[in-house]
Amino acid sequence: MSQLAIHNPATGHLITTLGADDASTVAAKAARARAAQHAWAATPLAERKACITAFRAGVVHDLESLAFTMTRETGKPIKMSRNELNGLLGRIDFFLAEADATLATQTVFADGGMTEQIQHTPLGVVANISAWNYPWFVGCNVIVPALLTGNTVLYKPSEYATLTGLEITRLLHKAGVPEDVMICLVGGGAVGAALLEQKVDGVFFTGSYATGARIAQTVGSKFVKLQLELGGKDPTYVCDDANVQVAAESLADGAMYNTGQSCCSVERVYVHEKVYDQFVQAFVATVKSFKTGDPVAEDTYIGAITRAPQLDVLQAQVDDAKAKGATLHTGGHRGTGEGNWFEPTVFSDVNHSMEIMREESFGPVIGIQKVGSDAEAVKLMNDTRYGLTAGVFTPNEARAKAVLEQVNAGTVYWNCCDRVSPRLPWSGHGDSGVGLTLSTYGIQTFTRPKAWHLRKA
């Protein structure tokens, strides 16, 4: 059996080694999930909900140890690990509260002896290839509604968050979900590729555009449900009438939270020329106040970079910006010593010739660009192949809506950023992907509609 080594990104030290799946074990697990799906779909929704309710209780009971495990294997600051787990509880509550009404058979026409109904039936076997940056959020956005709707799940957590993936699986089994209904796969890209070769009915992936494009090519001819959440280069515009200090503090947090390793991190900031200098000063001061340190320390805000190869990406963007004339205010270097570290980095005087304003950074690196008008801001915000989120800071709601209605993004923010709600769909435009999770749409996406034409004899 091949092995998967799990390292602590903050120290580089080995945490443990796990036995990994291979093509034969993936196929066997897929067969088990297929065989178990009919009985799980036939299980009353109330019983499936009871399992998820017990799973929620398990998360609450083990929350501290789960947070520590996530911090140790991803480098996420411990407070943010707790925040993720506590935030998960609200998402589970939403899915539990909305499942009955969302999945109820709908009568859409009844006249005389003819009745027309829409039934929501499960997809079947769902493949979930998940991400490491928010492993509980991203994993459970798929796992929980997929199980509630009667699907079995083949779940491959990221190789950078495998211990967390195994904990999710353990708690679901403990909560009463049968072992063949929720199956975890251990390994890297080769295991994910083997999973895509199986007969599944839906593929849900969160990760990079390059991997998403390969997945789309692999499964395209299979005509199965495909959801790809592929990140972004998310912009925010600060208008000349904004509260500069509030905007700077909010956007610094939006850019640097989770060490900038969020799909919806603020990655580009455009500021009206009238408040530009004031904003840059306030933003830099806020970033300089963030403490970098041991992720398990309670006062750490900036943790480790989870994937070592990302350090090269960040350094290349920094070097490119400096070479093209950007002004560096703080940071700009890798950390010293063991582990994967990069200083919180802020540039002003940037433009769209620079990689920092065009390609996803996925780290604590940000560029701030001056604009002269709302129209210029809209043009620059849309000058991207991505379209996940975008925001505007202004006290004028009409002005914000006028800007945001022109921006190509699946989620837009007024006077806030880097926010996800279970009540709203999570989707993207362009290279940010296809499909969606969350909201009642994110429950129905794990079903296929069955149309009933019923005529009384």
What is the rounded distance in angstroms from the CA atom of residue 47 to the CA atom of residue 45? 5
Report which of 432, 392, 373, 374 is spatially closest to residue 268, judged by C-alpha positions: 392
What is the rounded distance in angstroms from the CA atom of residue 131 to the CA atom of residue 27? 22
What is the rounded distance in angstroms from the CA atom of residue 164 to the CA atom of residue 257? 20
Token readout for 381 is: 């915000």
What is the rounded distance in angstroms from the CA atom of residue 413 to the CA atom of residue 265? 12
List 167, 229, 267, 360, catalytic entry: 229
Token readout for 159 is: 């190789």
Report which of 313, 293, 327 is spatially closest to residue 76, judged by C-alpha positions: 293
What is the rounded distance in angstroms from the CA atom of residue 21 to the CA atom of residue 211? 20
List 263, 343, 359, 360, catalytic entry: 263
Contact present, 377 and 270 (Cβ < 8 Å): yes
What is the rounded distance in angstroms from the CA atom of residue 256 to the CA atom of residue 365? 8
Strands 114-122 and 106-111 come out as: antiparallel
At 203, which helix (H) or strand (E)?
strand 202-206
Query: Does the active-site annotation cover 264?
Result: no
Query: Does the active-site annotation cover 64?
Result: no
Residue matched to tokens 């970079």: 305
The residues carrying an active-site annotation are: 229, 263
